Amino acid sequence: MSLMSRTVQIRQHGGPEELQWVDLPVGDPGPGEIRIRHHAIGLNFIDVYHRTGLYPLNMPATIGMEAAGVVEAVGEGVTHLQVGDRAAYASPPPGSYCELRVMPAKCVCKLPDAIGFETGAAMMLKGLTAQYLLKKTLPVQGLQPGDQVLFHAAAGGVGLIACQWAKALGLQLIATAGTDAKCQLALANGAAHAINYRSEDFAQRVQQITGGKGVKVVYDSVGKDTWEQSLACLRPLGLMASFGNASGPVPPFAPGLLGTKGSLYVTRQTLFTHIATRASTQAMADDLFAVVAGGQVKIRIEQRYRLADVQQAHRDLEARKTIGSTIFTL
């Protein structure tokens, strides 16, 4: 049986104008798969990377990594979900920009009754990212309450979740953002300090805040524009944790530089390594669901677009006009 789904598709890598509405057939789920009808869809910077070709896709391609909805059909071997379940996911392969899809069930999680579809769609990719950063991507000395960490783009979707979660863990999060208003938003969400990197030298300010010691870890989704100064923010044996490229990829550098700056560690993390198994996905999601349902972390949905307005949403995201989380409705 085939159903039809309104879907956003690209036929070549490029700008937002490449995002086009098409009708595509959707069949029944095979072994290990489900069919899910979306109620809300998340917008993330990885969608831009897929559209532009920074992360290349085979054409024609569908994009989008995050959504929430209702399970309509379950394939053989799927035991953790049933028809009618409310569910949410952040998961490969790309393709969430649609009404209806068949996809692997492994990374799809049953959504607790206390969490709505829009919140589910807004929090899975960003919240699971914050989870693996603060809980798993740790400096060699570990992180203890009172430790200072630097988090770039702290007024974005991942950043605002990280600000709140870091505070709940007792960490002193130093936020950076591109406007004074975004800095105030980070502070309102639990950051201990905030730096406008457009008007201040953030490396100098970090040294002032930390009394010249530097931070144990820098969490950086910006990439090229913040990389060099971020290394100057770290204490000896500190960790530079890269997890995105909003300003472009980090250029090549000589490993010897890490030695001269204090025997630093560098890692490039991706969510999809951490959610490679059903068990790890569920454990991380349970941790996220607990802090959201318990009120320690509130998911700020600041922008809502109809999926038909996907081109404008991408333009706004790339222009840094968005704050917090953004979702599409159908």
Tell whether 106 and 190 lie within a shared domain: no
Query: Does 147 fall in a domain?
Result: yes
Establish if 20 belongs to a structural domain. Answer: yes
The answer to whether residue 10 sits within a structural domain is: yes
pLDDT of 321 reads 87
Strand-pair partners of 90: 66
Q: Are residues 54 and 154 both part of a single domain? A: no
- Determine if the pTM surpasses 0.75: yes
In a shared domain, residues 8 and 80: yes
Tell me, letter by letter, the H, E, C secondary structure of the chain: CCEEEEEEEECCCCCHHHCEEEEEEECCCCCCEEEEEEEEEEECHHHHHHHHCCCCCCCCEECCCEEEEEEEEECCCCCCCCCCCEEEEECCCCCCCECEEEEECCCEEECCCCCCHHHHHHHHHHHHHHHHHHHHCCCCCCCCCCCEEEECCCCEHHHHHHHHHHHHCCCEEEEEECCHHHHHHHHHCCCCEEEECCCCCHHHHHHHHCCCCCEEEEEECCCCCCHHHHHCCEEEEEEEEECCCCCCCCCCCCCHHHHHCCCCEEEECCHHHHCCCHHHHHHHHHHHHHHHHCCCCCCCEEEEEEHHHHHHHHHHHHCCCCCEEEEEEC
* pLDDT (tens place) for every residue of the chain, 330 residues total: 679 999 999 999 999 999 999 999 999 999 999 999 999 999 998 999 999 998 999 999 999 999 999 999 999 999 999 999 999 999 999 999 999 999 999 999 999 999 999 999 999 999 999 999 999 999 999 999 999 999 999 998 899 999 999 999 999 999 999 999 999 999 999 999 999 999 999 999 999 999 999 999 999 999 888 899 999 999 999 999 999 887 888 889 899 999 999 999 999 999 999 999 999 999 999 999 999 999 999 998 989 999 999 999 999 999 988 888 899 999
Domain with 107 in it: 3-125+278-329
In a domain, 130, yes or no: no
Residue 309 lies in a domain: yes
Shared domain for 264 and 287, answered yes or no, is no
* Residue 23 forms part of a structural domain: yes
The domain total for the chain is 2
What CATH number does the domain containing 240 carry? 3.40.50.720
pLDDT at 1: 64
Let me know whether 238 and 142 are in one domain. Answer: yes
Q: Are residues 318 and 290 in the same domain?
A: yes
> 163 with 245, same domain?
yes
Do residues 228 and 170 both lie within one domain? yes
Domain CATH code at residue 108 = 3.90.180.10
pLDDT at 232: 96
Where a domain ends, among 268, 293, 317?
Answer: 268
Q: 181 and 247, same structural domain?
A: yes
pLDDT of residue 279: 95
* Type of residue found at 263: S
In a domain, 133, yes or no: no
